[in-house]
Structures are given as structure tokens and as C-alpha cells.
Structure 1
Amino acid sequence: MSRGPESAIGVTELTRSLKRVIEDGFPAVWVRGEISNLRKQPSGHCYFSLKDSGSQISAVLFRGNALRVECEPGDGRQVLAFGELSVYEPRGTYQIIIREMIEDGIGRLQREFERLKEKMRREGLFDDSRKKALPALPLKVGVVTSASGAAIRDMISVFRRMDWPGSLRIFPSSVQGSAAIPSLVRQIERAGQMKDLDLLVVARGGGSLEDLWCFNDEKVARALGDCPIPTISAIGHETDVVLTDFIADLRKETPTGAAEWISSVVARVVRDLEATGVDLVRAGRELLRSRLADLEQIRTRTVARPFLRQIESNSQRLDEWRDRILRTVEQGFAQKWNEKDQLKNRLKLRSPDRMLALRKTDFATIRKRLQLVVDRRAKEKKEKVEHLIPALRAGGLDHTLRRGFAVVRDEKGEPHKKAADWKVGDTLSIQFQDGRVEARAEKIDPKAK
């Protein structure tokens, strides 16, 4: 091909040649980068740049593709974009026409979540045969969560509203970030060593996939699966799903849902106990009434006089036995009823409201003791200051003047101790014990004594 001026081609022809080379050489690619300079047009098309630390490329997301992509474009968002390279002829710039786009972090985390879930499923860690039976009366409940988070506040609010009589023990842990993983594992294992717990709840409020990722960690999931105490996973909102949901003995969509389930189980048991007591009393009375009716029929049918006295005597003994049986049954029912009331009272003694009141009383006592210490220290300081006042007064200016000394001041009232501070003609104000004298410097001899 000739390289002289006669072989020159137009800009359009050159641009079209480059376009064919680029579009044929790169039919479709996945590109990772950060969105910047986003411009959304009224037509629905989106124009922006994809950049990394070393370079950037223009990108266009046409309206039809924008309606289908999973990720909404936004400045600063890290994305994985799939599309074809092309050249925009009017400006002679190359660009990528995006067909699909997902967030970089979420896509990677979602794939890791699916991988871990499948791995643990193949190990049988999610099988129902591994699930522990949940307690029929959960009255001592441990909660692994943030001590200052909204999750524990919501649970306590539900327990109070539903008058749950149990006791709550919090195992404080970080619930977000990489530092939360060892903290969660440590607190789950610590709770598992408590012999008096009926149930353990792992709880956290809602958040993004990244926020909840520590509950998808394999170490956390295995620690929860190995816990000897029955467990509940209550992470996020209804739509949030994490690995601990699959390995726990029960999954509740939210911390509030877990607290409602626990409270409802206890309330149902109390109602069943009360209903059972009523049914037993009713059945006992019906049985006694039936037996007395049978005895009355037997006595009526017996007409032989020789046996009348024996029947009457037996009837009397039957009346005595009836009274004894009735007293025994009523005493038994009264004892059971008292036991039920005692159980209910013991449950109330463990309520969060009572424990909070005890803590408030302890706080008031400590505060009173601190106030007494502060008052005593203040009194000691005051007495020390009052003791020093006479000494300070003894060393004051009046005392010095009474000893025969005088104070020499200039026209501005400033005191001077040296002869070198004065000049001939300066006005001196000399203060004695009984008054003040105005004088003028006639001669100054600093060396004279």
C-alpha cells in the first residue's frame, strides 16, 4: 500500500475501519469497574464511565437493557458489566454497550453463600435428624446479639407486652464485620456450656448482605450446629436468609418473631394447666355424684327387713367414706391448685420487670453512698480552707504595714521594690499604716544603703 499523501483516507472511513476491528475482535466481555459521571436521559438511556485505578471506558445502558438489569446504576457503585465493545462514530470513541450488570460485591458474596450452603447440605448439617427438640416451657433463654442493638430492645419489649415470666441472659457480641466472627463463635460456645439454659437465640436486625455476612461464615454456622442447647436463628427481616437459619433447630424471620414464639409457648402451657385443673375438678364431682346415685338405688331396692339395719349401717359408713373421699379429692385439687399458683408466682419472680426494679434499687443505694462520700470530702475541704484563713490574714498587707514597713507606688498605682525603677521628677505614693504620703524624687542613688 502506498504511504504517500495520495493514499490518505477520510476520518469517517478510518473510524469505521477501527469500529470493524474492535467489534469483530471483542464480541462480548465482562468488565469490572466503578461507575462515575452518570447521566440519565429522559429517554431512559444511561451514559457513564467504568473506571478502575488505571483507566476508564465509556459505557451506555440503553432503556430496554436498563429495565432488565439487576443493579441500578449509581455513581461510586462497583459493578460487573457484560456487553459488546463498539465505536461511536460521531466522536470517534470506543465504548461498551451493556446488556447485563450486577453489583460486584453482592454477586461474589451470593456465589460464596450458595457454595457454603451446598457444602454443608452435602455433609448433612441441615438434616432434620440433627435438629434438637425445642423446650416445652422455655423460661431460661440466652440471646447472642449486640447488647446495644435494636434486636434485644425489640425482644425485651415483646416479653414485657406478653407478660413472659422467664429470665433472659444476654451474651454480648459484635454482629457486623469480620471482627464479629470470632466474637459470635466464642459467645455461642460460652452459652453452650451453661447447664441451666433452656434455649439459645442468635439475633440481629436487618441489613444488607454484607452487613449480615458474618452469619454466613462457616465457623459461626458450625458452632451453632454443635451447640448442645436448642437454638433459634432470628437474623434480619423476613426476606433475609443466612446459613445459621438452615443449621439452627428453628428459624424465625426476625428477633421480634422469636420473642413472640417463646412467649406464646409459655402462655399456652399456663392456659393448659389451668384448663386441666378445672377439668379434673369437674370429673371428680361427676364421679362422686354417679356413685352416690348407685348407692341410693341399691338401698331402695332392698326390701327385706332383716337386712334393713345392716343396709342403714352400711349407708352410714358409705356416707362417711363419701365425705372422706370428697375431702381427699378436694384437698388434692387444692394442693395442685396451690402448686400451680406457686409455679406462676415463681415465674413472675423471674420476670424482666422485677429484675430491672432490683437493679434500680441497687443503683439508688450506690448513688446514696457516693453522695455521702462526696459530702464528707466537701466538708473536710471546707474545714481545711477555714483553718487557713486566719494564717492568710496574719500574713496580709495590713500586718506588714503594722510592722513598720511601707509600700511605694507610681502614678498608676503599681508597687515598686527597686530604686532603679524611678527617675528624678517621678511622683511617689507612699502608703503607711495610718495613711498615704505623696512625694517627688529629687535624687536617685541606687547604690546607697
Structure 2
Amino acid sequence: MLTITLAAALAGCGSGDQGEQGPPGPPGVNADAIATIGEGAIIIDGAAGGDPQESIYVRKAGHGPKTIVLVPGNNTSGAAFDGMMGVLRAVDSLNDAYTVYTFDYRGSGKSSYNRKITSLKDFAADFEKVMNKIGNFPTSGVTLVGYSMGFGVALEMVIANPGRYANVVSLAGIGTRGIRVGFNASQAGTDPAGRAWANGDWVTVANDAAGIAGTAFQQRSWQGEQRTYANVQATWDAVVYNDVLKYDIGKAFTPAAVTDPTFRASPNYINSLLDGFTIQYMPESLYYAHKFNVSPVSVVKPAPNADGSVVTIRGDGRLGALFNGKRAMLVKATTDFATWRGDQVIYDNYTATSKYDLKRAGANVTAVMINPNQGFDHGFPIARPLETVRLIDAFIRGEMSAPSAVEALGGAGVAVYPNEETAWETDTFTGL
């Protein structure tokens, strides 16, 4: 039971305040619907003259003075947060404390995909245009919450308009240096463009068209014509929901959910799989998450690809000092490969390196690493929406500590690394 008083929910540190509100923006399609019933589409212009317009779908919950924007992960739309939005609507103290928005990426959910993205910056630019069209959307004090790939998009949003945001939260986020797309033995082979990929190769980044083709080939077992419900379910069960489903790698890699269908029968689970069938932005989204690196440090593959090519993910250093005065919380389930528990998508080092990079950019950063084998994995924002909302609420109110994290997460064991800690964080990226 959540015992947060309204006064406590509205309290908290100054950096989480709502901040100044901008003037009413120009109306978008269904802007009135967003204000009154909590969802609708907003039409935005393309990036350049002659580019087609896009229709971006918006969901809204709550009516409080503090604003949160939830940014979805890869292969998801804003619908991934339906469980969290339901919690925010159901708990009066939260509904009164926060106004929460989530947007469907261009190419997902109920949004259009009239022009393909050319970087994660395109998603960020779309959302900036949407926020500018929502009447009285605040120009400061906003909390950004990025899930998985969405944390990279959230960083791009801060880079584009740092004054709008006070807090940034990563939920199993890809980190400041992106996530690598590499080949294992089962994925190796020759793609339709004639490029041979060997076990251990990384997708190359010298040519975007070739990189996107390679990424599509690497994802071929469950994308394109293979994007069937059974294939999506098998992939997400094994990689995204492995801990909540309690995979037994000693028994034919089988989830307990085969015999205990409780979680598999839940609306959040089913809808998260169906959400994948709305996605049009793959494989370009995964490729640009692979190429993403806003730190000042380049990531170089330790050994060349089988064909001799050297893969370098250049660090562009765009974080700079843009996080001065901002607070950040990085949350992830610890990866345990030995028993196939925790987060099998984002390695722990991605988070440790991000803590270092964000501190260097001026942020006050707390990392919360959830112990494995407790039902928290890469899909925890979907599988455990109440606990996730509780944790975000505690952070915004300035009450982030090991005891408060354990309480928010329903008693789950955690390791909390406060800003002043330096032994766990690292500048050496080894999330390969």
C-alpha cells in the first residue's frame, strides 16, 4: 500500500519543481482531447522544408504541478507505460502531484512514420515540437524518464533544450555510450546486401545504409516476416522477462510461466507483445542506438571484425556541462548470466559508465542496482509498474537512499551508489 501524503508528494527538492510554464502553444490535432480525456494526436512539421508532417500520439495522466515525461524503449510505443500510467491515475496522491505525458515515437503505436529517422535526435526533435504545441507545457523543472533506448532519446532531449529539464531517470537505459549490436554464431551469415558477418563482429558505422542492413540481418529471427506473435513472445520471454518468468537454463531453457501462466495472462504482458506489431522504426532505431555515444570517449571494438574492419563508436562529447544543477537516477536489475536472471539486455557496466559520464557533465547521480532473482529484469517498468512509479516518486521528492529504494520496490534488495561514490562507477566501457 502506498502511504504518501499529498503534502509529501508535493514536497521535495527545488530541482524537481514544476518551474515556469510557457505560453499556450499553437493547437495541434486533438489538443483539446489531450487536455480533457488524456490522449490524442498532435501534428508536427518535418525537420526540413519539404519534409512530410508527422502525427505524434500523446497520452496524459494526472493533473499535478510537477511534470514527468516518459520516453519508451526500442520496439515499444508510449503504450509500454500503460501500467505506470494506470498507477498514477489510481493513487490519489500521485494523481494530484504529477502531470505525466508519454508520446508514441514516430513509427510506433498510433503515430505516423512518413519519414525514416536518421538518428535518435530525430525522436527527440519530434517530442520537443510536441511539447511546444501543448498549451502551458512547462519550460523548466520537467523530469525525463527514459526506458531502455528511451534514455538515449532523453539525453538527446536534454542536449537540445537543457533548460526544460531538472531531473533525468534511466530505467534500464542504454547509457551515455549506447548499446552494441553484435553477432553471435546463430546470427552470423551473409546479409541481402552481400556483406558477410561472422561470430563476434559488431555492426559497422562507417556507412549508415550498410549498418542498417547489417542490423536488420542480425535481428532477422524475430523481425520482418518473422515478426510473429510466437517469435516475439519467445524473444521477449527469454531476454526481457527472463527473471519474472524464472527461466530454468538447466531444463531446456524453459520459463516457469509455461506451467504457471499468471504473468503471461496479464494485460501488461500481452499488450507489450502486441505493441511490437506497431513498430515501423526498426531496424534504424537499433542501429542508431548502437551508433549513439554522447560521452567524450570513443568506444573501439577490442579486435577487428573478421573481415579486418575496425569498428569505432565515436564519442561526440555533446553532454559537455549541460547537466550542471540537474539530478539523475539510474535504475537497472543486475545482470546475472550464470543463472539467467536480472537484465540480459543492458549490462551493468553501461550504468557504471553512465554514472561517471553524467557526473562529469555536472549531474548529481544516484545509481540503484536491483539484485537479481527478485522478478526485476529488463521489463521491470512493464512487469512492476507500481514499484517503478514509487521509486520515481521517491527520487523526485529527494528521498533516494537504500532504505527508501527497498521500500519503493516492495522489499527488493538493492545496491545504491550515491553521487559521492567513485569505486563502482568507471570511465572504462566494457559493456561489449
For CA contacts below 8 A with separation 6 or more, give which structure has more relative contact order.
2
Larger Rg: 1
Q: Considering the TM-score relative to the shorter chain, is it more than 0.5?
A: no
Task: Report TM bin, short chain.
Answer: under 0.3
Q: Could you tell me the TM-score, scaled by structure 2's length?
A: 0.23
Relative to its length, the structure with more helix (as a share) is 1
Q: Could you tell me the TM-score, scaled by structure 1's length?
A: 0.22
